[in-house]
Structure 1
Amino acid sequence: MYAVIFRATVNQLDPQYSEMAAKLRDIAMKEYGCTEFVSLTENDQEIAISYWPDEVAIRNWKQQSDHLIAQTFGQKKWYSHYQVEVVEIKRSYSMA
């Protein structure tokens, strides 16, 4: 299993951002194999972690047409800085 960690400094979020985020989350989970997506924003910092079965699914998601549009908006409008990390999860455990 893999995770994509997205960290950003928020520049300007608007209603279009909220609509796009909800739409993309739905597409990622229904069509690209994303198994979980968690996002938090505090002050001007945003972090989102999504979980994926493999790197192929992540690469395919990165090239999805609506996601490409969102990336452009992110670069030009929504964020002043962002960083993406793709990591392989070697071990996972939890307490119920």
Structure 2
Amino acid sequence: MYVVIFRAKVMSLDDEYFRVASRMRELALAEFGCLEFHAVSEGDNEVALSYWPDEAAIKAWKAHPEHLLAQKAGRERWYASYSVQVACITRDYQVPAS
């Protein structure tokens, strides 16, 4: 399993941002095999964690035309800066065990 860690410094969020963010989450989960998607904001910082079964799913998601448009809008309108990290999860456990 892989995790994509998206961290951003928010510049300005508008109504379109919230519509696009909702659509991107829906698309990732429904069509690209995203297993979980969580996002939190504090002040002008945003962090999103998305979990994926493999790198191929992440690459397909990154290249999807709607996602490419959302990335462009993010760079131009919504984020002052951002970083993306992709990591392989080598251990996963829960307390209490499910």
Q: Which band: TM-score by shorter chain?
A: over 0.9
CA-to-aligned-CA distance 1:30-88 (integer Å, 9 cap, x gap): 10000000000000000000000000000000001110000000000100000000000
Match of 1:20 in 2: 20
Distance 1:95 1:26 in 2: 28
| AA partner of residue 76 (structure 1) | E
Distance 1:14 1:86 in 2: 27
Residue segments in structure 1 that go unaligned for 5+ positions in a row: none
- TM-fit CA distance, 1:95: 1.4
After the TM superposition, which residues 4-19 of structure 1 pair with which residues of structure 2 at under 5 Å, given as runs? 4-19=4-19
The percentage of counterpart residues that share the same residue type is 48
Match of 1:64 in 2: 64
CA-to-aligned-CA distance 1:10-47 (integer Å, 9 cap, x gap): 00011000000101101100100000000000000000
Distance 2:37 2:14 in 1: 20
Distance 1:86 1:24 in 2: 18
Runs (4+) of structure 1 exceeding 6 A deviation are none
| AA partner of residue 22 (structure 1) | S
CA RMSD in angstroms comes to 0.5
Distance 2:46 2:88 in 1: 21
Match of 1:44 in 2: 44
Q: TM-score, length-normalised on structure 2?
A: 0.96
